[in-house]
Amino acid sequence: MAAETMNQASVERLYEAVRDMAITFRLKPGERLNEVALARDLGASRTPLREALNRLTAEGLITFESGRGFFCRTLDAAEVQDLYELRLVIEEAVARRLCRMTPSPELIALQAFLLETGGDEGTRTVPQLTELDETFHERLAALSGNGEMLRVLRNVNHRIRFVRWIDMENRRVETQADHRAILAAIGERDEARAVELVQAHITKRKDQVTAVVREGFARIYYDRSEAG
């Protein structure tokens, strides 16, 4: 039992380490993963690493090709657009459900969270702002009582986080204001208004997604090479 617990802890550690590398594209888009080198760098054996990689494959953060091995996911505008559309469907459903539910203390706690975190005067980092953004939306989903919607939303958030970081730099001020407006509409049980605000907050046009993905490639291949 102790050995099994240690193995699961090792798999979880490796899963989180490689997940973060895939989310941030420290593994380049489409790059083949060298399992031997990765295991060495992470101080692990290949068996728990392979289990972690299989888990990440199921979640869409890396891919597997029979006979060739594991690869980092691509940074593809069409896929990002699809993920934003899926996110919109989930979050619209969350807003509708919450507007039809009895108000809960947790909703008041979420209002307090927005007040505590407030706006941004340029002091927070982009990852910090993105974390606040994800936290708000995932807490809303949790309040809806639908665990499957929350699970899928978390997966989508992982897969679009890199793009979200780039987008967040241009939306520092408006993001928290959007959150407060969405929560106010839910608190007033104004379903049409809540859904309208969610749509305005999340929807991305194809040209917007393409521009952000293009900027993402520049960050991955140009900025990092300059930093090196």
Delineate the domains of the chain, giving CATH numbers in brackets: 2-72 (1.10.10.10), 77-225 (1.20.120.530)
Q: Which residues of the chain fall below pLDDT 70?
A: 1-6, 119-122, 223-228
Rounded to the nearest 5 degrees, what angle is found at the Cα of 81, between the Cα atoms of 78 and 84?
A: 155
Find out whether 38 and 18 touch, Cβ atoms under 8 Å: yes
Separation in Å, CA 28 to CA 55, 91, 144, 159: 19, 30, 36, 14
CA triple 43-163-55, angle to 5 deg: 40
Whole-structure pTM value: 0.89
What are the tokens at 157? 């958030």
b/e burial code for range 43-62 (CB count within 10 A of at least 16 → b): ebeeebbebbbebbeebebb
Alpha helices in the chain (DSSP H): 2-23, 35-41, 46-58, 77-99, 105-117, 126-143, 147-168, 172-187, 191-202, 206-218, 224-227
DSSP letter for 144, please: T
Q: What is the pLDDT of residue 121?
A: 64
